[in-house]
Every structure is written in C-alpha cells, then in structure tokens.
Amino acid sequence: MIRLWLWPVVIALLSALGLIAGLVSDGAGDWLSWTLLAVPVVIGCHGLARGRAAKQPPNAAMARPANRS
C-alpha cells in the first residue's frame, strides 16, 4: 500500500512546495517554484511518450502479413 502511494505523494509535496515558493519569495524562489512545478509536467510527458511508444509496433509493415492470394 505504501509503495502504491509513495510517488503520487512525493509529486504532490513537490507541487505544494513549488506553489508556496512562488507565492512567498522572489528571485531564487521563483526559479525554485518553476523547477518544482515543472516536475509533474515532465513526468506526465514522459509517461505519455512511453505509452504511445508501447502501443505502436516497431515496424508496421512487418507486423501485418501481405495478402498474396
């Protein structure tokens, strides 16, 4: 159960820290907030890319046999 919730909780904490840093600080805090708020976006894009790559066959021409009747 803990293993299932570990990464979502870590991502939520990083997002919350990024939001707080963006609200209460300037300068380096802005950079910190941008970095921490970019983490979920990067993870989501990586997951989308992996999902699309897994659905496509490596070579579509080789995957479908030719009908030679």
Q: What's the whole-model pTM score?
A: 0.67
pLDDT of residue 3: 84
Q: Give the pLDDT band (50/70/90) at residue 68.
A: low
Dump pLDDT digits (tens) for 3-57.
889 999 999 999 999 999 999 999 999 999 999 999 999 999 999 998 877 776 6
Calpha distance 10→62 (Å, rounded): 42
pLDDT of residue 53: 75
Strand, coil or helix: 66: coil
Assigned token pair, 54: 């897994």
pLDDT of residue 39: 95
In terms of phi and psi (left: phi > 0; alpha: psi -120 to 50; beta: otherwise), the region of 27 is left
